[in-house]
Amino acid sequence: MARRGRWGKEDLIDLVIRLSWEEVIFFVLFISSVQFLFVPILNNPILNKVNAGLKPFGLAVICALLLTLVAKYFISRKSPRVAFEHDTESPFAKTTLSEFLQRPTSWSLKLIQEIEWKRFEDLSAAYYLEKGILAKTTSLGADGGIDIKLYQGDTENATSLVQCKAWNNKQIDAKEIREFRRLLKREKVAKGFYMTSGEFTADAKEMAKANKIILINGEMFLSMLVRLPELSQKKLLELAIAGDYKTPTCFACGVKMVKKVNKRGEFWGCKNYPKCRKTMAVKS
């Protein structure tokens, strides 16, 4: 038999954190109206007695809601506002208090490998921007192997192309590098970076070396991040862990996917199903 749910302090705080601006304002006005307007107007002895007993609790709830409103305001102001071409869902989504308190406070390989594919691309682009290089992410859907275009100097044409793969359970092999090499030739761009949160096979490293493609694995990306000035590190960390940074984004719709189960096991499905039928494997 399933255990009956019990509410605790953390559940109540999580509920308050999840409230939207409109919901917070509604509850503040509702409680205030009942305790300080409607009950006094009715002037019922029994209601007045009950109201007097509940007034301290009501005031405490109102204060908590107002503090939540203030916190939401300052968080929204301090959150990094990095805009990317294919953003359709804000990275600063609702999170529970427990999730917020468990967020990483420094860079690590584990964090880089936990980031979902779209956030990994956005983080990579933000890194180049912090280095003073103009970086533009491509639109959702079939990108032809191009995730980020880099521009140096006054040229209107991309000087470098970046391919990003947030692969942890599978290494990037020579086939992926070969396709990227063809892409560079087709786009007539001499320099290419291939970034992954995982690792490359030996064959992939040899092919990249022969074609002057720069490979950046998870460990190298970590070393690049921690060499940035402290302020830049903090800015990128806030971007990386804002909202739900682990649940993958639908590569067609740009919204967070939902975990589903079929006879083959768990998988990620688009929230807009059946309009969108895109799926992704669940990382082990």
Q: What is the pLDDT of residue 190?
A: 93
Residue 259 near residue 283, CB atoms below 8 Å: no
CA distance 238 to 225: 13
**Dihedral sign for Cα atoms in the order 74, 77, 83, 89:** positive
What does the alpha-carbon distance between residue 190 and residue 181 come to, in Å, rounded to a whole number?
10
Which domain covers residue 60, as residue numbers? 9-78
SS3 259: strand
Cβ neighbours for 171, distance < 8 A, ≥ 6 positions apart: 198, 199, 200, 201, 204
Same domain for 111 and 227, yes or no, is yes
Length of the chain: 284
The reply to whether 133 falls in a domain is yes
The answer to the question of residue 84 being in a domain is no
pLDDT of amino acid 4: 41
10 Å CB burial of residue 96 (0-12, 13-18, 19+) is middle
> Total domain count for the chain?
3
The CATH number of the domain holding residue 144 is 3.40.1350.10
Is residue 64 in some structural domain?
A: yes
Q: Please check whether residue 122 lies inside any domain of the structure.
A: yes
Residue the block writes with tokens 């949160």:
197
Q: CA dist 231 to 26, 70, 161, Å?
A: 38, 25, 26
Q: Is the domain of 234 the same as that of 110?
A: yes
Is 226 found in the same domain as 270? no
Task: Please give the Cα distance from 181 to 191 (Å, whole number).
Answer: 10
Q: Which two tokens stand for residue 136?
A: 């533009």
DSSP string, 89-102: S-SS----HHHHHT
Tokens of 3: 């255990």
pLDDT for the residue numbered 246: 93
**Within this chain, do residues 262 and 158 fall inside the same structural domain, yes or no?**
no
Of the candidates 94, 120, 140, 118, the one whose C-alpha atom is nearest the C-alpha of residue 276 is 140
**Residue 187 C-beta-side C-alpha neighbours within 13 Å:** 22
Same domain, residue pair 115 and 205: yes
Q: Does residue 180 sit in helix, strand or coil?
A: helix
Would you tell me the crossing angle of helices 174-187 and 202-210 to the nearest 10 degrees?
20
Statement to judge: residues 158 and 254 lie in one domain = no
d(CA 225, CA 269): 32
Per-10-residue mean pLDDT, the chain, length 284: 45 56 77 82 83 82 77 54 46 53 88 96 97 90 78 91 93 96 95 97 97 97 97 95 92 92 91 92 80
**DSSP string over 14-58:** HHHHH--HHHHHHHHHHHHHIIIIIHHHHT-HHHHHHHHHHHHHH
Same domain for 251 and 236: no
Residue 267 phi, psi (nearest 5): -155, 165
